[in-house]
Chain A
């Protein structure tokens, strides 16, 4: 039987396992990923089966986790770095944006950087500060990096394998509050390509774009809207750099309306870029300006306020209403 019901967490675990079986050059590195299996248990059991050289419990040093991955990649390895939480990627930020991202271009293509940097991202788990951030825009703004944000177990299972096999460096964002969401995964199926967006629910009135943890929220909003007789088309971007917007343009030309949803602060977030591109390509079809629903431009708040901070289905529906009012 090749179809199993998996959580996102388990799908990632199995995907990592498969990637390690397929390619002996794949090396996992990170804090607490060995015996503990990572703080989210994504690497559970892998050290036991692949040994301490391939699943490396590293010292507590993010710059070193990514910086040594650069050297390993130069030797033909495929390092998969785990950053424990989104807010802890910043000690490694220098390595990621000044080195990992640029070496291929600087070496005129002589040196590839097939590095995957896995980051559990986003809020909603009641954590203290620095455990709930959405840093995707920092990386998407850096040429040379690709940024993937999965939303479901199928993409988690295939996406992690595709990211590892891919020749470019990939920041791989995992929606931490959705780690426990389940779906059927057919491990024998032909996977969809990694850098493509996907329509996850068809509709006619408004095109709603989301990625990572917000896809579920967008789908919930679509359910609620349907009860009021409104039909939302929901697109999961799946990859935020490069953006695959052709299906989005097609959709918006049909619906005439577009709402982009993400958790990260709204100003200069991914939504701003998407709004600009949709406007450029679909100006004559738009019935309303492209609207953004995002986090506020404040530090991620203490957890008692995260429900207020994070876009929920009401805020998505509110934006849908505003769009329809134009």
Chain B
């Protein structure tokens, strides 16, 4: 790196969770850092279901008073539903443990939360420019600029080029830059899901009443079964402060090849279901949004580092969908923190090559991020073949519940006699296989 004098110590692409936290760590350590964000403000292009598990934010901001943060609600109720076209079976779980410091989770809206996070980086001295899409990365093809052939040394936006010793790619799930950075090919449709979401305004009091929650608290509600009309996917409702988010997440390959009703029609059907429609009564839609979700787990992750470059957050496909919970944002925050810390280390050592940036991968390996992703590496494959969850089990549960709760005056039969034929519809072997598969994968 003889004469190479970069404009910045680090350039971060994308002011989402991973990007802003990485910039915060770098700036806090006294490094010069530029964040380039394509939205007109941080969060303008982002969308989540969604809820964030707060533990990773506590780790970045250990002294912060979390009651001051722009969260929507603290999640005190977990709801899971198995939906058939004409019925719905819901489990509602609440527990003090769900809301304790360090293990609590919050619903957030990204256009509200991300500007706050970006501001934390700015307060430490990071520079953020918005409304600028990074179109390309600068790569030192022959080593004539930085002394290392193949090293990433900056970004290009329109006519402008800016250089840095390290570039952190946090440009989201649909990154067009990871191919150039680390040779990552466009992910296959079977590893990706599409999310469509609508936000409805609803008064704080009505949300409290509908979801049986105290002021400031809220619910995370997941739907499986007929929401995606027999295909791989599910539905969500999250309570925000004075709105609710309702959406569908569905596997792109399954929908593209087999859906009779498009993904947005599935959301319309969910809204019309008798178990959901009353929630939306008198509510006013204020936004319709779409986003992709990386669901392939560790099997679809790109290389996490290259010479001069780190990949973090959704761009690195850090997400798991377990059916009963979906996580990604706490991984993104942690990855941003490790990326920032590892970049500082590499800058101090004067080596931002792939091996100089190894601290990032080491930190991830020793943390919940890669431990979780490894732990759940069988889940995507299991979910993909779990057709009975989307068609079969919802009807089985419906019929069992009907047997228990519908009283019409005919003499009651022993439970064993009424339930067995219903389970036989699905088949004991299938039931056994699915439970065993779930135990192995989860």
Are both chains from one complex?
A: no
Interface residues of B (CB under 8 A from A): none
Q: Which residues of A contact B (CB under 8 A)?
A: none
